[in-house]
Chains A and B, each alone.
Chain A
Amino acid sequence: MSKRPAPPLEPAAGNGLLDRRLFLGAGLAGAALSSAGAAAEPLAVPPWSLAPGAPFNAYGSPSKFEAPAVRKWVPPINPATPGIGASRTPHAMLEGMITPSGLHFERSHAGVPAIDPAQHRLAIHGLVRQPLVFTVEALSRYPMTSRIAFVECGGNSGFLSQPLAQPPGPPPDAQSIHGLLSCSEWTGVKLSTLLDEAGIDPRAHWIYAEGADSAGMSRSIPLAKAMEDTLVCLYQNGERIRPENGYPLRLLVPGYSGNMNVKWLRRIKLVAGPVMTKDETSKYTVLLASGKAWQFVFPLEVKSLITRPSPGAGLKGPGYYEISGMAWSGNGRIKTVEVSADGGASWAPAALAEPILPKAVTRFRMPWNWSGAPAVLQSRAADETGMVQPSRAAMLAERGMRGQYHVNCIQSWGINDKGEAANVFV
């Protein structure tokens, strides 16, 4: 028998949000909360309990019943250039903080190169004492570092900076709007180790990083960041990086704009100033209402997203639900996530799932007693630097409607009286 006080059932914020302390052990058992359904039916012995199952297989894959949990992409604008674009992570069907490697978003400018690791090389040169060339095998001999970190495309959530909440076409959902974010455990060699081995010329202030894809995707990165926490990764979630995510080598530049985490990494050149590549001038720059554009927009600022309920993952009648979502910041750890069920009129703090790691996805959860009436769900994250996720209106007031990149404003999901969720602009 628990001697703990019964969990608070009074709403913590408007429209049925409950106190997150419901999760702290007293549980829901003593609470007069239920969405009780019909009485259970007598249990039958199912066929899979009556015959042996399948033998071993060399590389596992999800249950066939999980077939909808896949990456999706829009057809290419030009069928002649099919490798330009992105596929997106199905957030509403996932939980926790780690994205399965096969569901990590993909972004490529000229398809996925088929790289033979035995022939791949990483060159480090430019303003160094001694230019060096590394084989993949040589890199695998260095001391390894592992960390969990998100990678988010600079173009993720750009949908929220255009004017129509429901434009013509398929209804926007967590996957189509926010699917260019994923989180993995990455393992590799500290870039600082390799740069020190080459010997950094004091005139170097930036590095130029280039991929081996046929588009030679390339970005300039401040040397300080390269020395601080950047990794040359060989492994993702315990296995060698998947081809679409950079096999056999990619950069991890924690918290920084996705395409700075250069995939298929083949060259790092130490340089005095930025190279002004196509992807740091004509793209991935944030055009402001004034006509000027922010350039070198590096950290992805604090952001959160409710993944359940969300469009396509709605509610089945009034009663108790757990709201679940993700929060992350390219500037550090998540400090708080607040949830609103009344379109931002009132807020209550959500429970944060451990571990809360810097520049990684943090899962948040919030108990909710849905009355069956229409609601607008929002989440608002703050990070350890004190930055707070802006409303869409505040973000657009700062930058205008054409910013397109590094969109981190609050997402609003409208819930109608049938329990269906849809993107709304409030």
Chain B
Amino acid sequence: MSSFEPALVFVLACLSFGALAQAPKFGSPATEADIAAWNTEISPNGAGLPPGSGTAAEGEKIFAAQCQACHGEKGAGKPNDILVGGFGTLRTPDKPAVKTIGSYWPYSTTLFDYVRRAMPWNAPKTLSDSEVYAVSAYLLSLNGIIGAGDVMDARSLPKAVMPNREGFTPFPRGVR
């Protein structure tokens, strides 16, 4: 037995202990610019809204071409979700609730976010940002939330006052 061996064992033990003392890290450092193409969600205060703008008149044409087949004329629904109307149906518990962008959705930013990421269903992410603003303007206008001539952009869209903005309450048994 060499007297050198215990020292070598000690050194190796220290090295392996040192390696284990730090948690393994396998993530690749990135910049926000690297992630920008995916970074599309829109916060309720409008953070994340891109440049561009659109009006209901522009949106009407896009809606007729891209949305109406599933959502009906003027967003009346069928075969897929109804998007317009339903006002007054949330507080009539004996009748069906008609939940639309106008009657139920609390934030206009959700409309922009969802149309941009997921619509039209068969070709999502193909509308330009200005086209998404225009479709959003059209649906908000049909619901009487903005005027027919209002321009929707990063500044104006979050200010659209949704009728059911105060319609939600946290689940009372949410956190235990």
Contact = CB atoms under 8 A, between A and B. Distances in A.
B99 A282 contact: yes
Interface in A207-248: 208, 210, 214-216, 218, 222
B26 A110 contact: no
A229 to B, nearest CB: 13
Interface stretch (A17-25, A125-133, A164-172, A360-368): A125-133
A326 B25 CA distance: 40
Interface stretch (B5-13, B31-39, B133-141, B149-157): B31-39
A282 B105 contact: yes
**Most B CB within 10 A of own CB, among A141, A193, A266, A276:** A276
A285 interface: yes
Interface in B13-55: 23-32, 34-35, 38-44
B118 A215 contact: yes
7 closest Cβ pairs, A-B complex: A132-B27, A291-B91, A78-B79, A138-B26, A289-B93, A216-B117, A295-B168
A385 B176 contact: yes
B124 A110 contact: yes
Contacts of A385: 176
Given A131-B35, A287-B99, A299 B168 contact: no
Contacts of A381: none
A82 to B, nearest CB: 10
Contacts of B91: 290-291
A204 interface: no
Interface SS of chain A: helix, strand, loop or mixed?
loop
A286 interface: yes
A222 to B, nearest CB: 8
Interface string A279-321: 0011001110111111111110100000000000000000000
Interface SS of chain B: helix, strand, loop or mixed?
loop
Contacts of A141: 24, 26
A277 B106 CA distance: 10
A301 B173 contact: yes
Contacts of B114: 277-278
Interface string B92-133: 011011010100111101100110011001101100000000
B169 interface: yes
A269 interface: yes
Interface in A73-88: 77-78, 80-81, 84
B29 A130 contact: yes
Interface in A142-168: 142-143
A138 B171 CA distance: 37
Interface of B: 23-32, 34-35, 38-44, 69-70, 79-80, 90-91, 93-94, 96-97, 99, 101, 104-107, 109-110, 113-114, 117-118, 121-122, 124-125, 167-176
A123 interface: yes
Interface stretch (A60-68, A175-183, A194-202, A336-344): A194-202
A352 interface: no
Given A124-B27, A133-B35, A141-B24, A281 B170 contact: no
Contact of A295 (B27, B122, B169): B169
Contacts of B42: 275
A221 to B, nearest CB: 12
A297 B41 CA distance: 21
Given A197-B23, A402-B97, A80 B122 contact: yes
Contacts of B118: 109-110, 214-216, 278
B174 A298 contact: yes
A299 B39 CA distance: 28
A14 interface: no
30 contacts: A77-B79, A109-B118, A110-B118, A125-B39, A130-B29, A131-B30, A132-B28, A133-B30, A135-B28, A138-B27, A196-B23, A208-B41, A214-B124, A216-B124, A218-B41, A218-B117, A267-B35, A273-B44, A275-B113, A278-B113, A278-B114, A281-B106, A281-B110, A282-B99, A282-B104, A287-B99, A291-B91, A293-B168, A294-B169, A295-B169
A196 B97 CA distance: 44
A124 B34 CA distance: 11
Contacts of B27: 124, 132-134, 138, 194, 197-198
Contact of B34 (A81, A133, A135): A133
A400 interface: yes
A339 B69 CA distance: 49
Contacts of A84: 80, 121
**Most A CB within 10 A of own CB, among B26, B39, B79, B109:** B26
Contact of A297 (B39, B122, B174): B174
Given A78-B70, A276-B106, A277-B113, A296 B174 contact: yes
